[in-house]
Structure 1
Amino acid sequence: MRVLAPLRRGPDVPARRVDADLVVLGVEVALVAAAVAVGVLLNARGVGLHADAAPLYASWRPHLGWGTPAALLVATGVIGWGVQWARTAGWGRLLVAAYLAAVAWTMSLALVDGWSAGFTRRLTPQAEYLHEVPRVTDITAMLAGFSARILDFQPHAWSTHTAGHPPGPLLLFVGLDRIGLGGPTVAALACVLVGATVTVSVPVTLRALGAEEAARQVLPFLVLLPGAIWVGVSADGIFAGVVAAGLALLAVRGLAAAAVGGLLLGFALYLSYGLVLVGVLALAVVALRPRDRWPAVLAALAGAGAVVATFTLAGFWWLDGYHLVVERYHQGWAAERPYGYWVWANVAALLLCAGPALGPALLRTAHASIGPARTVARRWRCPDRAPVIAWFDALRGAGPTMLLPLVAVLAVVVADLSGLSKAEVERIWLPFVVWLLVAAAHLPPAAQRLWLAGQVLTALAVSHLLWTVS
């Protein structure tokens, strides 16, 4: 099994790398501080940021809650004991423990705001999906007429979140209701339980692609993800879980798994329009598969195609929905939110979701990828190798801990520059954040606990100083 070393080390490398890490950390702090300061100024001037605690979609409200001691207990356990245990524990037991710890961490952060306000009532506002569940009496008719109700300022227009997404999320909550699991508490619990599965899916993906040691190193960062604040509770936690599971199934051996992975990734297209960008992550996973690459592609395409065909035959055409959503987007706050602020403040929100370890981890990942990048460049110029074959070979050589986070960066950059994600990206980009954190495999093991402490402090600061909104 191929296991990637975090970094090549030389006699004078560690000091230089630590200095670089601190510089990047300083840049991160400065960026977040600037985004907060400019946000305060713009809000004071009445600019339509529609985010009282910009760059996060939240309001300033320092508070404590029942979840405070629980979050401290979970964080202490993971940092003090879990880090070492993750390196030596049996694989199955490790994944079970990581999942349970992630659920505990997510619930603890939610309960800082209280059981009702922080958990059971998160999905009950008029803008949320649950508002529409009682109004869906015929699922077939709902799918067939979904696009006609996307635009605002018309009778029977969908509520904000339902209109802003394909019918997949509403279909999930309606489905839960139809099988007797309706109501806001079950819906909130589903977000947490599905969202926490990223602590299983991401490591499984890395292990299947030959990087088990890296998977073990990344796992504590996934468990103590600051973005768990928005996993508990928003439907974007479900989106992240579905995407991660689809990519994991695409990575493991077997064409049946690839087909099911394709089904999940195809369904992800109907959870959020922005998840079309997951396609680049899927391509990266396929490129890294050690064998059966092209049969797996065909199996995954068949699975995804089945989902697309089902929704299309039911009367919902994805492209029609996308174009109408763009129009609906500019009927609301997006028309007022200034692109010039959010295009860089979004990055600050991303850092608060992913944590301060992200910048140094990506810097080290970029440094480690220089050699494979040079290989790509050489092979593109090689006259006796087809460029596509050379490209795939070089990608496989780069390894998952380099390729997956860098591809996730590409997806986030495209989403940011599109102008269709102005604010609220701390939850919207959750499906990409968990893959960005794969870069944590390149952080030095000796400093892992320090970086995890920074992740925890970020999560606790956000959850205790701000009142976040789903």
Structure 2
Amino acid sequence: MLLKERIEPTEPTGRAERIERTGRAWWARWAGWLAVGAWALLIAGSFAVGEVLRRNGLATEDELPPLHAESRLLTWQILPVAGIGVLLVAGLPWLVRRLSWAAVLGVGWAAGAVWAVALALTDGLGALARPLNAPTEYPAGLAAIGDDPLGWLRTFTERLGGYPTHVRGHPPLPTLVFWGLDSVGLRGTGWAAALIIAVGASAVAAIAITVRCVAGEQAARRAVPFLALAPLALWIATAMDAFFLGVGAWGVALLAVGAQRWWWPAAFGGGLLLGALPYLSYGLLPLYAVPFAVLLLIRPNRWVIAAGVCGLVVVPLLFTVAGFWWPDGVAATQDTYAISRGSAQRSYPYFLVADLAVLGLLVGPAVAYALPSLRIRTGMPVALLAAAALLGTLALDVSGVTRGEVERIWVPYAAWIVPLVALRRDPGRGWLAAQVVTALVVQALVLSEW
């Protein structure tokens, strides 16, 4: 009798728990599909409205708004890279589950580089370096430096109006990176493209390390295939923003490792790289929300924080001593932006929404599907990293500084949103394939300048 009394109350409870779990699974599945539908509608609607604006002369510069690109159609050229995509979808999750952690990082890095290069090569063998050969890009401004980089740096703000478009729109560090390659004998845009791809693809490993520090190794392993095959790979080869992504990602990763292990040299190295971000692009300042989120999650001791701060001030101090005052650079760039006939004249209301649609395109449908299954309790660390990156994009978007061309500008931010896929226990090859198909469709239909 006692046994019966103990058993009877537990049966309804167990049944209720099963019903509740089934209901949650049903809701997560259908809510995920609804989110993917909203993702697709936002992107399609942005292109439709952009076409209307273009036909009425209200979307300047752009032939395919909200992208700074033009339409085209690839047919047989897309087949080889599609085959590579099939192999990566089939093999990468299997490798990530079975290899050691160090090997997973190497495989993720290599897969990201292979996928980015394969996509770019659909436009021919010269496609990797071709974007950097444009007269608006950084290499076109190297002649002004000559053999006197310090003299060039001291007069950078004063002579800004005479430099190529991308040199005018950024701090001096990207141009100095290209000058450094030339000065050590690695001349030509081929070497520059190789550097951008290597550093940009390495962000797969760096972000995985950060996710491991804040959310555990299983979440990091689940994220690696999606990081490597995210649609943003289309702009790893070869927009300079991919280089910015890699620098920022390794800065956060080193800071996370230093914070978790109380290892101040790693925290100092992370601070050093993070301190370089505002000197690579003025638009990277809001990215500091991501390392701040890492510190909130790990809560290191004060010595680690002090080491990170010491590293953070090194690059700003060096540039200031060398004669470049960052606030003056910002002001001069804003002046050239205001008088330009380009992005400053684009429609603010349209790009306020359409820029977010481009962000959705970069992260892919798998992220949209994963969002409704987010559980604050178990997924909070990864969600906080993604929210910090999203906050940075919103700050730039609402300010109106970014009106178009965000397919490259969002790259350093979008990569931190992709790990949201890891919140699902088994994201599945189907959604990894959806990421690959998204990239293939964009590559087949869009000819980007980068």
Q: Normalization by structure 2: what TM-score?
A: 0.91
1:232 paired to 2:243: no
In the aligned structure 2, how far is the partner of 1:259 from the partner of 1:72?
A: 42
1:403 paired to 2:384: yes
Return the offset for 1:74: 2.9
User: Which residue does the alignment assign to 2:64?
Assistant: 53
Deviations 1:253-284, CA, capped at 9 Å, x for gaps: 31001001101001111001111112111111
1:429 paired to 2:414: no
User: Quick one: which amino acid aligns to residue 301 of structure 2?
Assistant: R
Deviations 1:413-465, CA, capped at 9 Å, x for gaps: 111101001011111011111111121111341x4212111111110011111
In the aligned structure 2, how far is the partner of 1:132 from the partner of 1:51?
A: 24
User: Which residue does the alignment assign to 1:275?
Assistant: 284
User: Quick one: which amino acid aligns to residue 448 of structure 1?
Assistant: G
1:197 paired to 2:198: no
Deviations 1:376-400, CA, capped at 9 Å, x for gaps: xxxxxxxxxxxxxxxxxxxxx8742
In the aligned structure 1, how far is the partner of 2:271 from the partner of 2:373?
A: 32
Deviations 1:42-77, CA, capped at 9 Å, x for gaps: 1111123322111111101112475x3442233212
In the aligned structure 1, how far is the partner of 2:93 from the partner of 2:180?
A: 38
Whether the 8 Å CA contact 1:74–1:101 is kept in 2: the answer is no
User: Quick one: which amino acid aligns to residue 452 of structure 1?
Assistant: L
Whether the 8 Å CA contact 1:211–1:400 is kept in 2: the answer is no
Q: Normalization by structure 1: what TM-score?
A: 0.87
In the aligned structure 2, how far is the partner of 1:351 from the partner of 1:208?
A: 26
Structure 1 residue corresponding to 2:25, chosen from 14, 23, 44: 14
1:314 paired to 2:322: yes
Structure 2: unaligned runs, 5 residues or longer: 1-19
User: Which residue does the alignment assign to 2:270?
Assistant: 261
1:139 paired to 2:149: yes
3-state SS of paired residue (2:61): coil
Whether the 8 Å CA contact 2:215–2:382 is kept in 1: the answer is no
In the aligned structure 2, how far is the partner of 1:127 from the partner of 1:16?
A: 49
More helix by share: 2
User: Which residue does the alignment assign to 2:293?
Assistant: 284
Structure 2 residue corresponding to 1:100, chosen from 97, 110, 125: 110
Return the offset for 1:236: 0.5
Equivalent pairs: percent with the same residue?
35
Whether the 8 Å CA contact 1:99–1:197 is kept in 2: the answer is yes
In the aligned structure 2, how far is the partner of 1:227 from the partner of 1:326?
A: 27
Q: Calculate the aligned-residue CA RMSD, in Å.
A: 1.6
User: Superposition pairs for residues 107-118 of structure 1, below 5 Å?
Assistant: 107-116=117-126, 118=127
3-state SS of paired residue (1:467): strand
In the aligned structure 1, how far is the partner of 2:387 from the partner of 2:344?
A: 31
User: Superposition pairs for residues 23-422 of structure 1, below 5 Å?
Assistant: 23-64=34-75, 68-116=78-126, 118-137=127-146, 138-150=148-160, 152=161, 157-252=162-257, 253=261, 254-289=263-298, 292-332=300-340, 333-365=342-374, 368-369=375-376, 399-422=380-403
User: Which residue does the alignment assign to 2:428?
Assistant: 448
In the aligned structure 2, how far is the partner of 1:142 from the partner of 1:361?
A: 48
The number of residues matched between the two structures is 425
In the aligned structure 1, how far is the partner of 2:298 from the partner of 2:185?
A: 40
Return the offset for 1:210: 4.5
3-state SS of paired residue (1:55): coil
In the aligned structure 2, how far is the partner of 1:178 from the partner of 1:143?
A: 16
207-216 vs 247-256, which moves further = 207-216
In the aligned structure 1, how far is the partner of 2:152 from the partner of 2:379?
A: 46
293 and 209 in structure 1: CA distance in 2 versus 1, 3 angstrom threshold: farther
In the aligned structure 1, how far is the partner of 2:49 from the partner of 2:217?
A: 43
In the aligned structure 1, how far is the partner of 2:313 from the partner of 2:414?
A: 26
Structure 1: unaligned runs, 5 residues or longer: 1-8, 372-396
Return the offset for 1:37: 0.8
In the aligned structure 2, how far is the partner of 1:192 from the partner of 1:129?
A: 16
Whether the 8 Å CA contact 2:144–2:152 is kept in 1: the answer is no
72-81 vs 335-344, which moves further = 72-81
User: Which residue does the alignment assign to 2:9?
Assistant: none
3-state SS of paired residue (1:132): helix
Whether the 8 Å CA contact 1:207–1:215 is kept in 2: the answer is yes
3-state SS of paired residue (2:66): coil
In the aligned structure 2, how far is the partner of 1:70 from the partner of 1:261?
A: 39
User: Quick one: which amino acid aligns to residue 247 of structure 2?
Assistant: V
285 and 70 in structure 1: CA distance in 2 versus 1, 3 angstrom threshold: farther
In the aligned structure 2, how far is the partner of 1:444 from the partner of 1:208?
A: 18
3-state SS of paired residue (2:428): helix
Deviations 1:175-232, CA, capped at 9 Å, x for gaps: 0010011211111111111100011101111222341111001101111021111110
Return the offset for 1:412: 1.2
User: Quick one: which amino acid aligns to residue 339 of structure 2?
Assistant: Q
Whether the 8 Å CA contact 1:361–1:442 is kept in 2: the answer is yes
Return the offset for 1:110: 0.6
